[in-house]
Amino acid sequence: MEQIKNHTRLNNFIVKNLLITIKNLDNILYQLRQNKLSILGLIMISFFVIIALFGPYFVPYAQDAMTTSVENRLLPPSSEHFFGTDDLGRDVFTRVILGAGVSLKIGIIAISITMFIGISLGAIAGYFGGWIDEIIMRITDIFLAFPNLLLAMAIAAALKPGLTSAMLAISLTWWPWYTRLVRGQTLQLKNQPFVYASKSMGANSLYIIVRHILPNCIGPVIVNASLDMGYIILAAASLGFIGVGAQPPTPEWGLMVSTGRKFFLDSSWMAIFPGMAIFFTVLGFNLLGDGLRDIFDPQSRLR
Amino acid sequence: MDKLLKVKNLKTHFKTRKGIVKAVDGISFELEKGEVLGIAGETGSGKSVAAKSIMRILPSNTAFSKADCLELEGQNLLELSKSDLKNIWGKKIAIIFQNPFSYINPLFSIGKQMSDVISFHEKINKKEALKIASEMLHLVGMPNPKSILKYYPHELSGGMIQRVMIAMSLSCKPALLIADEPTTALDVTVQAQILKLLNDLRDKTSGIILITHNLAIILEICNAIAVMYAGKLLEKGCVEDVIYKPSHPYTQGLLQAIPKLDGQEGKLKYVPGNIPSALNPPDGCRFSPRCPVSLPCCNHREPVLTEISPRHFVACHRVTRS
């Protein structure tokens, strides 16, 4: 009897939350629909994510992730090899699909670390003010003084070349923007009446930051993050291109473009297809980010 | 008898670039257990600052409060550290504000916010906290407390949110409840309901301080009244004494200014002039520039609160002379 009651309770809980999620999604999608380009972006991203997650199970030449078959090298695109083969005989189509997974992994991990560092520092700096604010903002300024990609390259080159170095380097380069953003929002929000009322009821600083300040900052942060995902994937590809990011034989798009450069005149398919993959992915994130920005902050429309 | 709140010579100064703003310049009163004190005064008289200074919730880098005595239930509030203060805010002293919609977080449901407030002070789990929240909502007269817990603030009306705020502040059973113009932002019928609610809930706290500029509200539910002007108290005593037998010219002026419903003819009477600047208050009695019956000595010597009848104090040279 008790089991049946718990079972029904669980069912109710799932159904109720599913309905709430669907209702919220429906609202967001309605607003997104107003902007055709952002829908295009959403489609492109979804495509990218599905390929990244499920592609590896359906690739035609799964073994080409790691092995080579030199007798098949530099074959042009055909019905057997949609994107041709590269200089080691590996199917480019397979590697492009596998590369999607690599890029997604880098993107998600890098942006998570970036947001964690950036948001925490921004909220602490904005809420507590004083010399804590000064120290954090001056450190932020130091990082912002360097051009983005150069700083990432320098950090990645200093560390052992590899994917983890690339992720670390990107996170250490991208966090200052989030700190600035969240600090600005925090400065406004900490003077809001409901924060004052909460304090008067006994709330401590951690509660106010986590419950009142951060949830109200989420809008611009999400917009920034969706635009940044594209740039982070591009940065990871750039690091791979110059050789301080992903190392062979990892199927990473930037690395593939780099190796394809040598053969570009005769076997251009080696570089073109990974390059186009980078292009469409970054474009998709850009379009989606623009659409989200229009939802969260309609005043920033330039039209 | 042990008094609930003892305030003696409370002063709150703000350091600004133009000088020191003496928002509260020496007020003294006492609150007995079970009493409702109304602090009345114009805008800018310092009533809200006085209440917040008692609670010690003003920002410590700009506001400096000192008093000869500031005790709540015998505990000296002046020597409490910041972390001690966080323990008494909500638990010993609670405050409700004027505009209910601004003072509640729009992103979270009522139940979540109420249970969070309860869990600041009691070590109980979420389910228990929600149960207490639902009981408090029932106490303040909300229909369907259990479903209200899931609502978001924008789904409720102003009057209901104010009830929610009252419920939140009373949820930890504070000794002192400060209500800072709780009904000013609501319409008259809702105002009557909220006042009746505060009256019914008098047994839930030991004392209430009601701050308002509306003397009719004070007559409705207060036992004692203190009239504040430019940071000083001009008259204080029981409501019956002060409102029916006002001694201070300012109180008399305020009461005359209330329009009457029984066919009053002619122009509305009012107290001419404005509250003096808190940066450079006038010498002597602060009200003397606007006083219709001021004596020459009123501009030089500041009047002190003197008892003219049992528990009825007035700060006026003319009254104490006669």
Q: Is B86 on the interface with A (CB under 8 A)?
A: yes
Structural domain boundaries, residue B164: 100-173
DSSP per-residue letters across chain A: -HHHHHHHHHHHHHHHHHHHHHHHHHHHHHHHHT-HHHHHHHHHHHHHHHHHHHGGGT-TTGGGGT---GGGTTPPS-SSSTT-B-TTS-BHHHHHHHHHHHHHHHHHHHHHHHHHHHHHHHHHHHHH-HHHHHHHHHHHHHHHTS-HHHHHHHHHHHSPSSHHHHHHHHHHHHHHHHHHHHHHHHHHHTTSHHHHHHHHTT--HHHIIIIIIHHHHHHHHHHHHHHHHHHHHHHHHHHHHHTSSS-TTS--HHHHHHHHHHTTTT-THHHHHHHHHHHHHHHHHHHHHHHHHHHH-GGG---
**Which residues of B are less than 8 Å from A216 in CB distance?**
107
Are both B76 and B202 inside the same structural domain? yes
Instruction: Find residues 160-219 of chain B whose CB sits inside 8 Å of chain A.
Output: 165, 168-169, 172
CA angle A260, A262, A266 (to 5 degrees): 85
Are both B117 and B228 inside the same structural domain? no
pLDDT value of position A33:
67
Q: Is B97 on the interface with A (CB under 8 A)?
A: yes
Residue A243 C-alpha, separation from nearest chain B C-alpha, in angstroms: 46
Are both B281 and B184 inside the same structural domain? yes
Whole-structure pTM value: 0.80
Are both B155 and B189 inside the same structural domain? no
Give the model's confidence band at A303: pLDDT under 50 very low, under 70 low, under 90 confident, else very high. Answer: very low
Are both B190 and B296 inside the same structural domain? yes
Q: Which residue among A198, A202, A216 sits closest to B121, beta carbon to beta carbon?
A: A202
Q: Is B119 on the interface with A (CB under 8 A)?
A: no
The more confident residue out of A153 and A57 is: A153
Block means of pLDDT (10 residues each) for chain B, length 322 residues? 86 90 91 91 90 89 89 88 86 90 90 91 88 91 90 90 91 90 87 88 84 89 92 92 89 84 77 84 86 86 88 88 78
As a whole number of angstroms, the distance between CA A65 and CA A56 comes to 10
| pLDDT tens sequence across A196-239 | 999 988 888 899 999 899 988 888 898 899 999 999 999 999 99
Count of structural domains, chain B: 2
**Which residues of A are less than 8 Å from B51 in CB distance?**
none
CB A95 within 8 Å of CB A248: no
Are both B117 and B62 inside the same structural domain? no
CB contact under 8 A, B104 and A194: yes
Are both B40 and B140 inside the same structural domain? no
Of B139, B173, B207, the last residue of a domain is B173
ipTM of the complex in this document = 0.84
CB contact under 8 A, B116 and A207: yes
| pLDDT tens sequence across A180-205 | 999 999 999 988 999 999 998 888 88
Dihedral (CA of A62, A65, A68, A74) sign: positive
CB contact under 8 A, A194 and B90: no
Q: Name the residue type at position A98.
A: L
Are both B190 and B73 inside the same structural domain? yes
Of B139, B158, B173, the last residue of a domain is B173
Which residue, B212, B228, B245, is CA-closest to B311?
B245
Which residue, B166, B213, B170, B173, is CA-closest to B190?
B166
Are both B141 and B64 inside the same structural domain? no
Q: Which residue among B90, B108, B165 sits closest to A202, beta carbon to beta carbon?
A: B90
Which residue, B206, B205, B202, B250, is CA-closest to B226?
B250
pLDDT value of position B40:
92
Are both B309 and B220 inside the same structural domain? yes
As a whole number of angstroms, the distance between CA A92 and CA A272 comes to 10
CB contact under 8 A, A202 and B117: yes
| pLDDT tens sequence across B181-205 | 988 888 888 888 888 888 888 877 7
Are both B116 and B254 inside the same structural domain? no
Q: A112: how many CB neighbours lie within 10 A of its CB?
A: 13
Best mutation site among B62, B84, B91, B117 for testing chain A: the one with the most A CBs within 10 Å? B117
As a whole number of angstroms, the distance between CA B46 and CA A226 comes to 49
Of B145, B173, B201, the last residue of a domain is B173
- CATH code where residue B219 lies: 3.40.50.300
Are both B75 and B199 inside the same structural domain? yes
Residue A93 C-alpha, separation from nearest chain B C-alpha, in angstroms: 46
What number is the average pLDDT over the span A270-282? Answer: 92
